[in-house]
A and B are shown apart, each in its own frame.
Chain A
Amino acid sequence: MLFLLLSIVLIISAILVISAQNPVHSVFFLVLVFLTSAFSLFLLEIEFVSLLFVLVYVGAIAVLFLFVVMMLDIKVTKQEKDFMIYLPMGSFLGLIFFLEIFLTLQENFVPFLPLSGRELYINWLNCIDSLTNIKVLGQLLYTYYFPFFLIAGIVLLVAMVGAIVLTLNFTQKAKHQFVFRQILREKKNSIYLIK
């Protein structure tokens, strides 16, 4: 029931993201999408990922989106947007995404289509340990999947260096205030006669 309500809110706000005339409003609807998807993940007992959604997506990435919207200097779009231009590419990408989800469900969870050759699907309920989401992540991510974790660290490093190199103006140097030099300045080394 609650899940259904959240899904309805999610879908409506996702539609409003692309149909809102004001870009700032669409960013706010994007925040609403993130929040409702976090709630629905919480209902599916994926607590850590849902809290991560709130922390990273709502807390940081939405701010970046707002910055981008402000930098683009687009005011309210006057004319009706022609959505039909985006339809082929968008539906193609959506189709690929749904195919992926469908194949994952078909292979690993309850199959929609009758399986050929293979006997039965794995009943994952029997495999459930009484571990919480965050414990499972912690026990796998740092040992079994450690190369991916370290690669993620390198990706973050590259992102950081790239952002600095792209945005920073290297020609201007910041003016510093050297406190020790100010304190060491006395009457006898700062007052002198000029002929």
Chain B
Amino acid sequence: MPSLFYEEYFPVWIALFVSIFLSIIIFTLSYILAIQNPDTEKLSSYECGFDPYEDARNTFDIRFYLVAILFIIFDLEAVFFFPWAISLSHITSWGFWTMIDFIIELALGFFYAWKIGALEWE
């Protein structure tokens, strides 16, 4: 079993190491080669046109949260598609229609959100 596992994921392993190595090289080279000449204006956080005066954490509209929740739900729907699509030739038409029922259930919620204007902003 391990041999198969390592054969399958050896390219992934190489890609992981190359990406880590490359990011380390880029960061260190840009740190070493660039001329470091800091002062207060350079190091302060930059906001276009005026001095940064507020904390980054503000109260914000609850709709961002709603968008994130709706994103999670449809993300999960997409996740459920993958095993279904992989094994579509093995499961019978029963499995096919189960998925269709699942899509209809979520489409009901989607049309509710659309009809009520949950994602619209004033």
Contact = CB atoms under 8 A, between A and B. Distances in A.
Looking at chain B's contact residues, the main secondary structure is: helix
Contacts of B72: 56, 60-61, 64
Contact of A168 (B64, B66, B83): B66
A134 B86 contact: yes
A163 B70 CA distance: 8
Given A164-B116, A167-B66, A146 B82 contact: no
The A contact surface, by secondary structure, is helix
A70 B64 CA distance: 12
Contact of B79 (A56, A75, A160): A56
A159 B69 contact: yes
Nearest to A146: B98
Name the interface size band of chain B.
35 or more
A11 interface: no
A135 B94 contact: no
Interface string A132-160: 00110111011100100110111011011
A183 interface: no
